[in-house]
Amino acid sequence: MKLSDMQKDKCVRVKSLGVDAHFLNRITSIGITEGTTIRVVRNDRKMPVLVYVRQTLLALNREDCEKIEIEEVA
């Protein structure tokens, strides 16, 4: 499942990231790596996805969220 498909108020774990080197550098520099737990705060269509990760609230564009594979945490 992609991060852009997740409903708000759900906790997820990053399974894998896209293979583009530029994307990997940007996304890992803000603390999103494989195995990281993310809470989706807001996910409205045509708006950035708001996530809470490592005690920081981030707004991720939808294109980047399409490159992040996640699994739901129980």
Q: Tell me the pLDDT of the chain (74 aa) as tens digits.
A: 999 999 999 999 999 998 889 999 999 999 999 999 999 999 998 899 999 999 999 999 999 999 999 999 87
Q: Which residues contact 5 (CB under 8 A, 6 or more apart)?
A: none
Q: Per DSSP, which regions of the chain are E strands? A: 11-16, 37-42, 49-53, 56-60, 69-72
Q: Are 4 and 63 in contact (CB under 8 A)?
A: no
pLDDT at 18: 84
The tally of CA atoms less than 13 A away on the side-chain side of residue 69 is 6
The pTM of the full predicted model, rounded to 2 decimals, is: 0.89
Identify the structural domains of the chain with CATH numbers, from first to last. Answer: 3-72 (2.30.30.90)
